[in-house]
Chains A and B, each alone.
Chain A
């Protein structure tokens, strides 16, 4: 079974631009969670989508948004990029997002903001 895929793998943007990242979950998984990883803050939860609905949200500004499609694929968008948005963005999928479900991570998208 194919794992979680994320595109693109690497991205370079300039301040003020916006960016869209994509995540395809493992086949059959309906929950997709997004995380931001930086050396200073570690892995931080952004949001989770299940059945096209945002079910949980972390403490990030409104510039960070996401959505999920009917095939469970998910996208996240960051508008008005800031230097501090440079990070590894990871998505993880699980069957239903229940508290016993294992989350499987994709390879990540490395975003650099100049």
Chain B
């Protein structure tokens, strides 16, 4: 079992729709969770961080965390073609601060 798993996609949604990206992790003691976006040929950039169970909203983005189910998700509302990118879920396991474990990423394509 991989430490952090994501659906590889590609996930295709029409413009204006909600995109739902999912991630599961293996270490029950994990405390911090991050969603990064990576455009082709670019480096990852942070979208959201979440540390507590529940939802966290920032503009069109909502991160959801369920530690009991070891599940974290990212919802993108009103998806835009500019949201087309690979979305990376990252987990800080065992509270090893500077060490992030990444999922393989989900490629999102938003069609006009």
Contacts of B101 in A (CB 8 A): 45
B43 and A108 contact, CB distance less than 8 A: yes
A99 and B49 contact, CB distance less than 8 A: no
A102 and B49 contact, CB distance less than 8 A: yes
**A30: nearest residue on chain B (CB-CB)?**
B98
Contacts of B34 in A (CB 8 A): 102-103
A56 and B99 contact, CB distance less than 8 A: yes
Residues of chain B touching chain A, judged by Cβ–Cβ distance below 8 Å, are 31-32, 34, 36, 42-46, 49, 51, 88, 90, 92, 95-105
Q: Label chain A's interface by main secondary structure.
A: strand
A43 and B43 contact, CB distance less than 8 A: no
Residues of chain A touching chain B, judged by Cβ–Cβ distance below 8 Å, are 31-33, 35, 42-45, 48-50, 55-56, 58, 90, 92, 94, 96-108
28 contacts between A and B (CB under 8 A): A32-B98, A33-B100, A35-B102, A42-B102, A42-B104, A43-B102, A43-B105, A45-B99, A45-B100, A45-B101, A49-B98, A56-B97, A58-B99, A90-B44, A96-B97, A97-B97, A98-B97, A99-B31, A99-B96, A100-B49, A100-B51, A101-B98, A102-B34, A102-B46, A103-B34, A103-B100, A104-B46, A108-B43
**B51: nearest residue on chain A (CB-CB)?**
A100
A100 and B32 contact, CB distance less than 8 A: yes
A29–chain B nearest beta-carbon distance, Å: 11
Contacts of B32 in A (CB 8 A): 99-100
Contacts of B42 in A (CB 8 A): 107
> Among the listed B90, B97, B105, which residue makes an inter-chain contact with A101, where contact means beta carbons less than 8 Å apart?
B97
B100 and A105 contact, CB distance less than 8 A: no
B62–chain A nearest beta-carbon distance, Å: 18
B99 and A50 contact, CB distance less than 8 A: no
